[in-house]
Amino acid sequence: MNLADALAAGIRALGLDIAAGAQQRMLDYLALIQKWNKAYNLTAVREPQKMLTHHLLDSLAVLPHLRGPRVLDVGTGAGLPGIPLALARPDWQFTLLDSNHKKTTFLRQAVIELQLDNVEVTCARVESWAAPQSFDTVVSRAFSDVAEFIALAGRLCAKDGVVIAMKGVYPHEELAQLPQAFRLCGVVPLQVPGLGAERHAALLQPAEAA
């Protein structure tokens, strides 16, 4: 199965409806990562098929749990999960935040080449970034443990928004350390087609939203 067919099958398996044009731009995005990876070391995953499952489908699996229209991806790295999600939801606005200059240089080029009008790239440390507004969703993929993520980025979440920490195995120990300012709404298992590994999304809300 070629990459386009594998992506289409994976999106169907996730129960998502994503336009063919957006799917092609997702494949263009993977090609950009491969092109820049040699010089910028964006990801340790090198094989295109593995990139499709570990990066694209893994990112898209969290889409049903997002709230819009303003989404912040903290510690986005090569643009994960932000760019696949932005391609899937062109009607929402995404901010990709990372403190690594090389990675944000790549991201700005990707935004241009993929014509992502709904994506803004910011190079800054999350704890010192003065956001212009709060976000409906604050998401991270392997940025830090849950308590640290909330300590650093929780202030950026709108009062009625959601913080999503994407994890591998169920993060029992991390969730035991949650700050009182946030409450756990649930931990959702994410079934990523072709991945063969556990994935979970911890969904949290400001306690005042209860």
Listed in sequence order, the DSSP H helices in 55-207 are 58-60, 82-88, 101-113, 146-153, 172-175
- Give residue 133's pLDDT: 94
The CA distance from 12 to 18, in Å, is 9
Does the domain at residues 3-209 carry the CATH identifier 3.40.50.150?
Answer: yes
- Give residue 199's pLDDT: 97
- Give residue 1's pLDDT: 85
pTM of the predicted structure, to 2 decimals: 0.96
- Give residue 210's pLDDT: 54
CA 43, 24, 69, 210 torsion-angle sign: negative
User: Can you list the residues of the chain whose pLDDT is less than 50?
Assistant: none
- Give residue 42's pLDDT: 83
